[in-house]
Amino acid sequence: MLIFLGCISSTASAVEVIAHPNVSETTLTTSQLRRIFTMRQIQWADAQRITVFVLPRQHALHLTFSKERLQMFPYQLDRIWNKLTYSGLGVAPITVNTTEELLEGVRMTPGAIGYVEKTQGMEGVHVIKITN
């Protein structure tokens, strides 16, 4: 049983939340992270606009991020983003095809946030710690 629990905790930490270096936040709660990725929080504490980068719905890392970090399923995020887009009340995140494109997008976009695998090189971005 203890071995199984160890596997669960290591899976949960396999995804790192990253941000552009000019983002001052170093820690977010799961609730804050969920508000950002559901496009309900569109500015950082310093009033800087948040730009959200995500991978396609079917990407394994997106599934892991959604379930482990946001505690949501990808289809729930899609519904929220579609409702915002089609109602004209907001915009969906920027979807990129690869983790390299996501990392580059966050690096080059002030105020950006995204996620990568823990093992991926993270030069030019900073990791945001997620607390419950």
Phi first, then psi, for residue 95 (nearest 5°) are: -95, 125
73 confidence band (pLDDT: 50, 70, 90)? very high
Arithmetic mean of pLDDT, 9-29 = 82
User: Which helix (H) or strand (E) segment is 105 a member of?
Assistant: helix 99-108
Arithmetic mean of pLDDT, 65-69 = 95
pLDDT attached to residue 7: 37
Domains identified in the chain, total number: 1
Domain that includes residue 51, residue range: 2-131
pLDDT attached to residue 14: 84
What's the angle, vertex CA 54, arms to CA 50 and CA 57, rounded to 5?
A: 145
Arithmetic mean of pLDDT, 2-7 = 38
Residues 42-55: pLDDT tens digits? 999 999 999 999 99
90 confidence band (pLDDT: 50, 70, 90)? confident
pLDDT attached to residue 36: 97
pLDDT attached to residue 119: 67
Taking 90 as the threshold, does the pLDDT of residue 2 lie above it? no
**What is the pairing mode between strands 15-19 and 126-131?**
antiparallel
Taking 60 as the threshold, does the pLDDT of residue 5 lie above it? no
13 confidence band (pLDDT: 50, 70, 90)? low
Residue 16 CB burial class (10 angstroms; 0-12, 13-18, ≥19): buried
CATH at residue 29: 3.40.190.10
